Every structure is written in structure tokens, then in C-alpha cells.
Structure 1
């Protein structure tokens, strides 16, 4: 499964490269909801794109982002203040008597202070990093779709909830950020052949067992260790990754746009590295055909997905930083 991906979080890249229109209303709604207290994580690069966009139409969204960052900075500063007080009390108690309870209190306070300071530094950092564009399950990212005769870029949650499915499925099936090709006419039948999209990505990341990544058996007494591998196409390039998306609605509930990357059996180099799934890149010549599927001609959608064999790159891997 594609646990994480290095995506095009900057919407302006889609507009320049593919002429996609921005669904400003949905981006605005996303940031309004987040400022209202909803937990809607977005990659930093997406925020920075709005903050650096000279287009006056993006000014209201930029204001929402600044307000959120200011509020988050205040929250983190308050957390540091509280945990420093907790640390002082733990040190005071430990001087009197060394106990497991206060040693643990000291450890927790120290960890929380360090974590909050790291988040503050990340929040205020002006120098961009590749990691600013990385998305994880539950994150919102730009997805390119077809609507009203044009390519449109809309923010969607990377954890798909098809129409008619209950909210509980988000927790019952936490892996629904990926749609297995073999399940497209099963669990995903409400979106496959109906609502397709693409996400631009330069790398994807997977959890694997270290011994499998090192292509060896577990040593006697060795415990299974999890590592995260980064897979990058060689030569390096941005991939048009196939996905299916959904517009979920329910009475009294917020509308939800969400997306899942389509995955299939891996090529040999991914399998040998210890993983059993792989994303599916779309041939650029098939882009608009994929974005405009025909429910009555699923064979064409499958043809586009299987055309990956002609364009699929070699995926080089390394342990992610």
C-alpha cells in the first residue's frame, strides 16, 4: 500500500503544466473548516503556495492560513510553557526521591517540549524542503479531475470514503487510501468507471520489514523491525498516479471529497525490497481518457491501467530519512 507519497502540493504547478482550473471554493471551505477546529492536515507546501500567490483571488485563503499559523504558534508556545513547569516539578521531586513516576513525568515533559519546539520551527520555516510536499493518510492534497469539460484541481482527503459507505469505514478499513486493482469492481464499484483522478508524485513510501528489505531471513532471536523505504523512479521524473475519488454526502454532515491511489502487484524490485503493492503511473497520452471514464466500458479503464507495463520505471529504494 502507498503509505505516503511525495506529491505536487503546490497547485500552481498543475495549472502551469496541465492548464487545470483551481476549485477555489473547495480550497476556501477546507481552510475555513480547519480554522473552525476541524482536524484537517495539509502539507506545508500547499499553504506556502497560497501565501506566495500574487493573485488577489487567493488573498482570503492566504489570510485563513496566516490566522491558523498564528493560532497554532500560540498553542505550541502555551504547551511549551506548561511542560516546562511540569519538568521543573519533576526535577524538584526527583531531588527529594528517585521514583519511577517522576522519572516518567520528566521524560514525557522533555519529549513534549522537544516536539512542540520542532513544530514551531517547522511552522515558521521559510526555506522549503522536499518533505513539505509529503502526504500521509488523512492529509488533504490537490487532485486533478475532469469536470464541466475541463481539468479541475480540488482538495481531497487521502483516505477515500465512497458514496453510501458509513463514516465508520474510515476506522474499520483504515487502508482505504489505496484501491487495489483487483477490488475496483468490488468495494470501489461506486467510483471506478465514474470518478477518476490523478495525483502528481515523484516518490512513494512503504512500511516493510527490515530483514525483507535486506533480502534475508530473520536471525535467531531477532525481532521483526519495521522500516520505511522511499521508492523513486529512475530516471527521476514526476508520475501521473491513477486514483479514484468520491464525493460523499449525508444529511446533517459536511460534504467530503476523498481519494485513493490505485495499486497493483509490484514490479520485481519493489517485491524484493519487501512490499507487495505498487502505485500505477498513467501514460500522459491517456490522461484525459482516464479522467473521463465510461462506466459502460470498464475495459478501457483497465486498458489504461495495464498500459503501465510499457511506461513503468525502475523504482530505486533507500531507507527514508
Structure 2
């Protein structure tokens, strides 16, 4: 499964290299909706920063939304920091008095932890220097996905966890793994999308959860508990990969706003990924197949399988993720 990925959020690159049009309407809808429901951080920092400086009147509304959304989030973290500092001061005053209590000790511990988290989040929101983590997505967050409509390539912001056709929000909560579309299930589980709604996410790195003993190529020792580690996989030579995806649009699916969501197609891993302890891998398609992939023929699924099989095959170096 693709637990996390380093995405391309430079919209100019989509336009310049792939001739795509940015769906500003969908970005505006998403930014408004995430501000309203308090989920602003579901939009990766790199996606927001890309619209901070408008390059024309069409992007001015997005730039305004980014500035206001960031300001509101900063105020939220600052308010949390003030509240927890007050809680800590009260707890420490009780603990320093004649009758310290267990409740005050607990408040001191919780407030200290929450102060650290709030300060970290506040610093991260105010940070100007870009970091790799700004463009890293996780299931439930949003990424730009290139699709084709009416003969034009369009970049649409989509949630990285696909809500399948006919599903409700309650149904998808029961099956949270739909950010991963297994190649061996494309016709059975994903049949309403495979051959119909194809997309491409541009990725420079992906991350996976693996067991430490598998990463080290050994069995668990007696009485040893399984330990999870996160590995970063970098293609060699370094490159941007055109990851094959399936997507869906659920009308009114998220607070009465159409929900665009997607999944990355995964397959059996190459030997170096398997040796590192993971059993799935994304599928980067070749640039020559972009048109054929984005314009699928549902009556010729074998041609689509052929695109997935004749994939780019970089060597994936791995390391422990920071």
C-alpha cells in the first residue's frame, strides 16, 4: 500500500510539462469547505503555498483564501497555547502549595504535552522555509490529480482515499483502505472506475510502514515484540513518477460539496522493496502512455493492463524516514 507519498504541488509544472488546465473552481470549493469545517490542515502546506501569490485575477480568490485560512489556523493554535499555559500555571500553583493533588499532577502532565504540540504546530504554520514534509500526503489529505475531460487535461484537488461509487460516508469508514487499488482487484472491487475514471498523481518518493525484523531480513526473536518503522523509498535515478490512479466524484458527498477522491493502483513489489519488508508498490506509468491512460477504453481492459505492466521500473533505495 502507499501509506504516504511526496507529491508534486507545482501547478505551473502541470501546465508547462503536461498542457493541463488547473480547475480553479474545484480548488476554491475545497479551500472554502476545509476552512468552514475546521480541517484546513488536510490541505498540504505545499498545495496552499502554490496559490499564495496570484498570477492573475483568476487566482486572487485562492490567494485570499490561503491567507485567511492560514491566519485562522494560526489563531486557533495560539488560543490553544494560551489556554494550556494557563492550565499549566494553575496546576503548578496547586502542586507548589500545601495540598498538591493527583488531578493537578495530571493537569501538569497533559498541559505540558499539549503546549509542546501547540507550539510545534504554531511554528510550523508560521514557517517560511519549505520542507519536504510540506508536500507529503497521507490518507484523508488532498493532492492534485491530473485527469482528462472533454479532451482536455485538468488538474483537480482530490482526497487521497477513494469513496467508491454508491458508497456513503458511513460505508467508507468501515473500509478505510481505499487509498490503495490492488491491481489484482481492478475488475472485481474497482470495476466501476477501472476503464472509466483514470488519473495521474506525480510523486517523487513514497513511504511505507514495515516491521523492523522484516526490514532487517530476519525472524522475530523469542519474546521480541513486533516493531513498526517507516521507510522512505526514493527512485534511482531521482525522478518524478506518473503514478496510475483511479478516481471518483461523489455528488454532494462532503458537506453538500462534490467530493473528488482517488486511489493509487498498487502491485507486487520489485525485489528491493520486498527485501525491505513491504509487499506492495505503486505503479509509475511511462510518459508515452499518458494519453492512453487518461482516455481509457472500457471495452479494451487488456490494453490498460498492458500499460500497467509496461511500467517505469526505477530502482528504489530505502532509508528510515525522519
Please confirm whether the aligned pair reaches a TM-score higher than 0.5, indicating the same fold.
yes
Match of 1:196 among 161, 181, 198: 198
Mapping 1:1-321, distance limit 5 Å: 1-39=1-39, 41-96=42-97, 100-249=102-251, 253-308=256-311, 311-321=312-322
Q: How many residues align?
A: 319
Aligned to 1:207, the other structure's residue is in SS state strand
Aligned to 1:9, the other structure's residue is in SS state coil
Aligned to 2:50, the other structure's residue is in SS state helix
Alignment CA distance shift 1:262-1:105 (3 Å): same
- The Cα of 1:89 is off from its aligned counterpart by 1.8
Aligned to 2:167, the other structure's residue is in SS state coil
In structure 1, C-alpha distance between the alignment counterparts of 2:92 and 2:172, rounded to whole Å: 42
TM-score normalised by length of structure 2: 0.95
Which has the higher mean CA deviation after the structures are superposed, 144-153 or 220-229?
220-229
In structure 1, C-alpha distance between the alignment counterparts of 2:12 and 2:119, rounded to whole Å: 31
Aligned to 2:285, the other structure's residue is in SS state coil
> Are the equivalent residues in 1 in contact too, given 2:246–2:262 (CA < 8 A)?
yes
> Which structure 1 residue ranges, 5 or more long, are not aligned?
none
Q: Deviations over 1:262-294 (max 9, x none)?
A: 000111111111111100010110011000001
> Are the equivalent residues in 1 in contact too, given 2:252–2:259 (CA < 8 A)?
no
> Are the equivalent residues in 2 in contact too, given 1:163–1:249 (CA < 8 A)?
no
In structure 1, C-alpha distance between the alignment counterparts of 2:283 and 2:181, rounded to whole Å: 11
> Are the equivalent residues in 2 in contact too, given 1:144–1:152 (CA < 8 A)?
yes
C-alpha RMSD of matched pairs (Å): 1.5
In structure 2, C-alpha distance between the alignment counterparts of 1:315 and 1:100, rounded to whole Å: 51
> Are the equivalent residues in 1 in contact too, given 2:87–2:111 (CA < 8 A)?
yes
Alignment CA distance shift 1:268-1:99 (3 Å): farther
Q: Deviations over 1:203-226 (max 9, x none)?
A: 000011111111122222221111
> Which structure 2 residue ranges, 5 or more long, are not aligned?
none
> Are the equivalent residues in 1 in contact too, given 2:161–2:178 (CA < 8 A)?
yes
Which has the higher mean CA deviation after the structures are superposed, 21-30 or 212-221?
212-221
